[in-house]
Amino acid sequence: ELALLRFYGPDLADELLLKLTHLFSDLRRLVDDGLLSYPYSTRELVNIVKHLQKYPEDGLVTTIENVFSFDGYDAQLLQHLTQVFHRHGLPVGGNRVFVNMSTVYPFGKREECDTWTLGSGSMKIESKFHPIDKKGSWFFSDEILRRPEALSSRRASRIKKFSEEVYQWE
């Protein structure tokens, strides 16, 4: 299996490939023990390696979260998976307190594009400009970090809907 992974991920470190091999071996053992019903196969493992080879900036944790995101519907399954991931040093399912932001693209000049009428009268919609000066990674404020319940309300957005949004907090 390791030789197969080296073929699909020639630029990936052997240590990483070995870690993934052991991870999937443990997942298969849970199937044999009757704790998991889905037999995680070499196909999923190869897909993770191919993704990491093509998109190394995504990182292992994000890639694994994407592969296993649908398994989050079953709380008991998610608990078993999280235990296996943590045993292998992967913080999947844990709370991470950062948000990756995309490239900043400037908006063009604002202009009024429409006027709405209510009944027979005309009503203009007032628009206001509120600049956002934040660039780079967003970190939670000290106030939020002092309130653990604020961070514990994190929900994986991709479990509920198809979206580029990864997490949301209530």
Q: What angle do CA 59, 84, 43 make, to 5 degrees?
A: 60
Burial class of 52 by CB neighbour count within 10 A (0 to 12, 13 to 18, 19+): buried
User: Each residue of 96-124: pLDDT tens digit?
Assistant: 444 566 787 888 888 887 776 666 666 66
Angle, nearest 10°, between helix axes 60-67 and 42-54? 140
User: Each residue of 46-99: pLDDT tens digit?
Assistant: 999 999 999 988 888 888 888 777 665 677 777 888 888 888 888 776 544 445
Is the pTM above the cut of 0.75? Answer: no
Q: Which of 69-78, 132-141, 161-170 has the highest mean pLDDT?
A: 69-78
Can you give the residue ranges of every domain in the chain? 2-94, 95-100+137-170
